[in-house]
Amino acid sequence: MFDNEQDVRLMLAVKENDSEQALRKIYDTYRRPICKFFYRCTCDYTTSQDYAQEVFLRLWKSRKRYQATGRFSTYIFQIAKNLWLNEWDKRRRRPAELPLDGERYNQKGEPVRDQHEAQGVGPPGHLLQKEHEERVARAIGTLPEKLRLVFAMSQIQGLKYREVAEILDIPEGTVKSRMSRAVKFLRDHFQPYFEEETGRSSG
C-alpha cells in the first residue's frame, strides 16, 4: 500500500534538511488515508480534516526526533492514533454526531459533495448510497473505542494485523480478538451494511 523505502528517505530529508518539498510528498501520500481514519472515528468530515492537518504539523515539529527503525506508515499512524486518543478523552462525554449533509468520501477516498457525480448513479442509487454511508458511519461509531481503532485501521485503511499491532502497541493476537469482536458486533446489528466492508482478507 505504501512505499516504505521512499517514505523513509523522504522523512530523513525532512529531518536532516528541513525539506518542505519532501514533507509535501509525504502529505500527498498520507493525507487521504489519515483523513479516512479520522472520518471513521469522528463521522465528521471537517473534524477529520482538522485532525489530519494536526498530524502533519506534529510530524514536522517532531522531525528531529525521527528514527528510521520501522515502517514509516506505522510511525505516522501512531501520531494519528495518539492524537485521536487524546481528543477522545476530551470528547467521550459528548454523543457522537454525524453530519447528514456536506462532504463525504467516495470509494476512492476523495471528498465529494455530490454522490450523484462521484458514483455516476441516478437519484434512487444516490439515496441508497447516502443511507448506506450514514448507517455504516453510525454503526462504526457505536463500537467501543478499542474495537473502533482496530476496525478502522484494518478494514478502512487496509493495514495488516501486524501493522495495527505495532501502531497500537498491543500483541497481534489482541488485534485479531478485537477485530473478531468488532465484526461480530457489526454483523449482529448491521449485517446488510457490512458484508462488503468486512469481506477483504486482512493478510
pLDDT in tens, 47-106: 999 999 999 999 999 999 999 998 999 999 999 999 988 887 676 655 544 444 444 544
pTM exceeds 0.75: no
- Which residues lie closer than 8 Å to 83 by C-beta, 6 or more apart? 51, 54, 55, 58
Could you check whether 1-97 and 121-203 share the same CATH topology?
Answer: no
Q: Say what the pLDDT of residue 55 is.
A: 97
Architecture of domain 1-97: Orthogonal Bundle (1.10)
Check: CB of residue 40 under 8 Å from CB of residue 149.
no
Fold (topology level) of 121-203: Arc Repressor Mutant, subunit A (1.10.10)
Select, from the ranges 122-126, 133-137, 184-188, the one with the highest average predicted confidence (pLDDT). 184-188
| Residue 19 binned pLDDT confidence (cut-offs 50, 70, 90) | very high
Looking at every residue in the chain, the average pLDDT score rounds to 78
Domain ranges for the chain, please list them. Answer: 1-97, 121-203
Mean pLDDT of 139-155: 84
